[in-house]
A and B are shown apart, each in its own frame.
Chain A
Amino acid sequence: AQSVAQPEDQVNVAEGNPLTVKCTYSVSGNPYLFWYVQYPNRGLQFLLKYITGDNLVKGSYGFEAEFNKSQTSFHLKKPSALVSDSALYFCAVRDTQTGANNLFFGTGTRLTVIP
């Protein structure tokens, strides 16, 4: 069975400081990992994904994430937070062993960037 854990419901960070939103996963086979962002009353927007290759992946709006196989983690990071980054962030996984094409989402982390 696949699962995704986002241990922090809420992350607060000051504008200009680095931010990290944590994600750990559990799958049977190799994981395909994704990050999505949701602004208020909007749909989910794709930020970045890890499929294979370089463990550090770069995505939209200056975000990046690092795949760590030994720790089964895929934390989202940004060197300098903006107030406009305040939103709900979801980590998601696709388990390649099951052959299923859908994504399984974590519970979300609300990021608040304080001016």
Chain B
Amino acid sequence: QSVLTQPPSVSAAPGQKVTISCSGSSSNIGSNYVSWYQQLPQTAPKLLIYEESRRPSGIPDRFSGSKSGTSATLGITGLQTGDEADYYCGTWDSSLRAEVFGGGTKVTVL
């Protein structure tokens, strides 16, 4: 049981948009920065979004992030087959004194 809650899977056709939700609490998302990570099959996680909505260099603006209260959202527009991956949200939990992750969401391009 993960501290942060994500849907197990989302899917859409190429070119369409998907959103992935990440729900937490006041001790984690509600009071700390949220990051999103992309994990392509058989590879290490890669930072996609940090500090809720900032993109590292090299990440296309098709990927966006937002936060409201104790929930965060990752959006992917112009979906491509290369976007098929597992996506994780993560943040620090001030009560647990631990980095916490969502259970991961598998994105499938139909």
A joins B in a complex: no
Binding site for A on B (CB under 8 A): none
Spell out A's residues near B (CB within 8 Å): none
